[in-house]
Amino acid sequence: MTAAYEEERAGIVVRAVQPCGTEPPLICVAARTGHRIEPLIRDSRCFAICQLDPANRLVLRKFDPDAPTDRGDPFDAIPFDALVTGSPIIRASALVFDCEVVRHYDLETDHELYVGQVLGCRSVQD
């Protein structure tokens, strides 16, 4: 999951992503509470979901939810683009959803839920 607001960008490996609506297309994302991506999603009202290759250890390390959040911009060493919302899209991702937040649920636990309407998508076919 990635997000950007003004000049700041962040990303986090999320626990779960699932479709939750078709008209309009919606996806639900469970993300760890307390990560630096939270204020970026709150302020921009957008996020992107990028399917990661498990063999891409650099990206997994940069977006590890347990890593310290004060390590600078994780996108400094990772090529990225943007689709509709301006959220960073990792170029190496095979599947991407660019979303606008329609609901946010603080579950008062270690994760919170974001429901996003899919505004753009990209897939790489082999």
Number of domains in the chain: 1
> Three-state DSSP class for 35?
coil
> Three-state DSSP class for 38?
helix
Residue 70: the pLDDT is 65
Give the pLDDT mean for 22-29.
96
pTM beyond cutoff 0.95: no
> What range defines the domain where residue 35 resides?
2-123
Q: For 54-79, what is each residue's pLDDT tens digit?
A: 888 888 888 887 766 666 788 888 89
Residue 89: the pLDDT is 95
Residue 69: the pLDDT is 61
CA distances from 11 to 5, 21, 23, 25, 60 (A): 12, 24, 27, 22, 10
CATH code of the domain containing 30: 2.30.110.10
When pLDDT is cut at 50, 70 and 90, the band that residue 36 belongs to is confident
When pLDDT is cut at 50, 70 and 90, the band that residue 2 belongs to is very high
Residue with tokens 């095979």: 94
